[in-house]
Structure 1
Amino acid sequence: MNITSFVIYCMIATFTPGPTNIVILSTVHHHGAKKAMKYTYGATVGFGVLLIISAFLNSAFMAFLPKIIMILQIIGSGYMLYLSYLICKLDTASPAVNQAATFRSGFLMQFMNPKVVLFALTVIPAFLVPTYHSRTMMSISIMVIIGIGFLGFLTWVLFGAIFKAFLHKHNKIVNVLLALSLAYAAVMVWL
């Protein structure tokens, strides 16, 4: 296995904007880094569970991959559009508006996030299965991927915390841009 290609693939998939990262940024913007970290922990655990499922059921998933992808596209895109609507309508003056940024919602988001599901379905067969045949090496590799994913999520929390004053100053514009970014990601699932 080419370690450099593996790490680059993992970093691009986890650090680039996607539904989870946009929700993390929006959560930091509206509720602070502490609340965003709860969501991030859930997202990280969900990400890990998807990787483990992919590793154990890789051959079964490949047989049904087209059907799974279509279902995920429909559910994931709909959920992402719903989230974009919620982000656009957020009002920082009302602290009870968005209570959805919890460990549980971060966990569940990973199963409805086409970017994460497709990553989990591709990284295992493309990089790990051809190289590692022992459970120990597969487990270590999955832990490395989870670590990279957590660092990607954490980067978005830190970005939101660093630029929080700017984000609050331009609240409505930021909400609209985040909502449009998430809606764009939902539409791109189909293209």
Structure 2
Amino acid sequence: MERNIEIVLYAFTVMYTPGPVNLLGLNAGLSTPLRRTLGFFAGVALAIFCWFAVIGLAGQLIVVERIIPVIALAGSLYILYLALKVYRAAPPNATEPADGASAQGAAGQLRFRDGFLMQLLNPKNSVLVIPITTVMFPTHNIAGLSLIAASALIALGGGGAPLLYCLAGRTLGKRIARPEVLVRCNRIMALLLVVVAVLLLYDYVLSPLREAIT
């Protein structure tokens, strides 16, 4: 176990730092019951597992590099869609029970599909997956079924990241339970998601395109 500690530390550092998926988890915790977002976390975990399993078993780094701009473009557009979804979402009415959700609030509910597609199309997966699958796994002779098992464990940790942010959001939400404050939080989160989408477009699409032209 000690020889694999750098894999654990690296994966933890990358997955638990603020990012679009974790920001959505935090926002969901402010106004959405936890049970309504479990599918979102499961989708995130499955997407991470797919990245590790496919790239780890295929080992074709050059193929991944070529499709990163396409993934970044699709991922950025999906993040913008979710930003609009978060911006338009309304928190539950103050008169409703904590575990209930208003018809308006349901419009902003995060589902399995949202978590899976957003994480699958997140080009920053390459920052997590490629160093581990091309350097760390081979160094520690992790291959075959061991690779699948390690990928599953990392994926579970990845799904736990937005869950942890969601729990933090729930704690914070109890302190700012007024609907107007939650609406402002939704809009701030939506703005942050737009910024993330623009940065992804610049880093992974526009910048490589400019270098190719020049």
Shorter-normalised TM-score: what interval? 0.7 to 0.9
Q: What letter matches 1:78 in structure 2?
A: L
Equivalent-residue separation in structure 2 for 1:55 and 1:131 (angstroms):
13
- Among the aligned pairs, what percent are the same residue? 21
Correspondent of 1:184 among 186, 195, 205: 195
Equivalent-residue separation in structure 1 for 2:127 and 2:11 (angstroms):
12
Equivalent-residue separation in structure 2 for 1:52 and 1:139 (angstroms):
6
Q: Does 1:173 align with 2:172?
A: no
Q: What letter matches 2:45 in structure 1?
A: T
Aligned to 1:88: 87
Q: Map of 1:64-103 to 2, 5 A cutoff?
A: 64-92=63-91, 94-99=104-109, 101-103=110-112
Post-superposition CA distance 1:70-104 (Å, at most 9, x none): 101111112112222221222225233224x2223
Post-superposition CA distance 1:99-127 (Å, at most 9, x none): 4x222322222211222354223321131
Q: Does 1:122 align with 2:121?
A: no
Post-superposition CA distance 1:156-182 (Å, at most 9, x none): 121122222235432133112211221
Say whether the 8 Å CA contact 1:28–1:35 is kept in structure 2: no
Decide whether aligned partners of structure 1 residues 136 and 66 sit closer, same or farther in structure 2, where only a CA change above 3 A counts: closer
SS in structure 2 opposite 1:132? coil
Say whether the 8 Å CA contact 1:25–1:156 is kept in structure 2: yes
Displacement of 1:68 in angstroms is 0.8
Aligned to 1:164: 173
Structure 2: gaps of 5 or more residues? 94-103, 204-214
Correspondent of 1:137 among 137, 146, 159: 146
Say whether the 8 Å CA contact 1:87–1:175 is kept in structure 2: yes
Aligned to 1:155: 164
Displacement of 1:21 in angstroms is 1.3
Q: What letter matches 1:28 in structure 2?
A: G
Q: TM-score, normalised by structure 1?
A: 0.85
Post-superposition CA distance 1:125-148 (Å, at most 9, x none): 131123315424323322331232
Q: Which moved more, 1:117-126 or 1:25-34?
A: 117-126
Say whether the 8 Å CA contact 1:20–1:113 is kept in structure 2: no
- How many residues were matched structurally? 188
Q: What letter matches 2:199 in structure 1?
A: M
The alignment yields a C-alpha RMSD, in angstroms, of: 2.3
Equivalent-residue separation in structure 2 for 1:111 and 1:133 (angstroms):
23
Aligned to 2:210: none
Decide whether aligned partners of structure 1 residues 133 and 113 sit closer, same or farther in structure 2, where only a CA change above 3 A counts: closer
Say whether the 8 Å CA contact 2:44–2:158 is kept in structure 1: no
Decide whether aligned partners of structure 1 residues 164 and 142 sit closer, same or farther in structure 2, where only a CA change above 3 A counts: same
Displacement of 1:54 in angstroms is 1.5
Equivalent-residue separation in structure 1 for 2:131 and 2:188 (angstroms):
30
Equivalent-residue separation in structure 2 for 1:119 and 1:38 (angstroms):
22
Q: What letter matches 2:105 in structure 1?
A: P
